[in-house]
Amino acid sequence: MQHIAIDLGAESGRVMAGTIHPEESTFTLEEIHRFPNASTRHPDGSMHWHLESLLEHCIEGLRQASLAGIHPQSIGVDSWGVDYVLLDHEGKWLMPVHHYRDSRSARGVGNALKRLPWESIFAETGIQYMPLNSLFQVMAEPGEKLERAHTILGIGDAIQHQLGGRPVYEVSMASTTQFYNPSTRQWSDKVINAMGLRREMFPEIVASGTETGVLRGEILVPMRVAECSPEDHSDMHP
């Protein structure tokens, strides 16, 4: 049995293939593709992630795995916490996607604490005070962008959604947002409502390993065409 894990870190990412050998009770790992992940500091001083580049590298890793004859039963995507992506009604990313070290969070802290005291936020979420938490980042977003936002997803969840999964928020990533109540194991309506956000922006929270969809066929089509000889192309379907 083969599986693929896409591990996205704040400085680099990698696509790994894992093979389970039940007859030997062993598990082997193979690195398929490793790539850098660097933020950009814009002239105005803001820090952004190259999310499109991350997606391209993830797809390239999957194509390399397929070329190597790896046919996984599952593909999982994991990422660092706190940062997020806002999607519009069509599922398109609302850019830019800010880095958690961006200085705008200080403004978000002020906006959030005007609406709900820190003691209440902590009681609801159990997360220590850090300006980089998703709550404070979201509260620094322009109002126009929040009005356009239909869904919020973690970085890894946004990538898996682009690969073919439905929009969900993995529970360990949700727990880093400061919008999550660990007692109810659901989004905190108290915090969300106090911040003036729409509850429907926050998708279903799921456990790690939850099946969310099927890999989009067109992701591997270029690789399949490259593999085939010209006389085989008549049998190809998109």
Give me the CATH number covering residue 57: 3.30.420.40
Does residue 114 belong to any structural domain of this protein? Answer: yes
Q: Does 216 map to a domain?
A: no
Q: What is the pLDDT of residue 230?
A: 38
- Quote the number of domains for the chain: 1
- Residue 91 to residue 161: CA distance in whole angstroms: 9
> Is 35 within a domain?
yes
Distance of alpha carbon 26 from the chain centroid: 30
Q: Domain for residue 230, yes or no?
A: no
pTM (2 decimals)? 0.90
Torsion angle, alpha carbons of 54, 18, 2, 27, to 10? -170
Mean local confidence (pLDDT), 228-232? 38
User: Is 48 part of a structural domain of the chain?
Assistant: yes
Kindly state the average pLDDT of the residues 10-22: 95
Looking at residue 227, its pLDDT comes to 42
Question: What integer is the mean pLDDT of 82-92?
Answer: 97
Examine the pLDDT at 156 and tell me if it is beyond 60. yes
Q: What percent of the chain has pLDDT over 70?
A: 92
pLDDT at 232 over 60: no
Q: Is residue 44 part of a domain?
A: yes
Report the range of poorest mean pLDDT among 30-44, 64-78, 199-213, 222-236.
222-236
Band of residue 219 on the pLDDT scale cut at 50, 70, 90: confident
- C-alpha of 15 from chain center: 15
Alpha helices (H) in 21-169, listed in sequence order: 51-67, 105-115, 118-125, 134-138, 143-148, 155-163
Give pLDDT, residue 168. Answer: 98
226 pLDDT higher than 90: no
**Does a structural domain hold residue 235?**
no
The domain in which residue 102 lies consists of 2-208
Is there a domain that residue 228 lies in? Answer: no
Confidence of residue 28 (pLDDT cuts 50, 70, 90): very high
Q: Kindly tell me if the per-residue pLDDT of 229 is higher than 50.
A: no
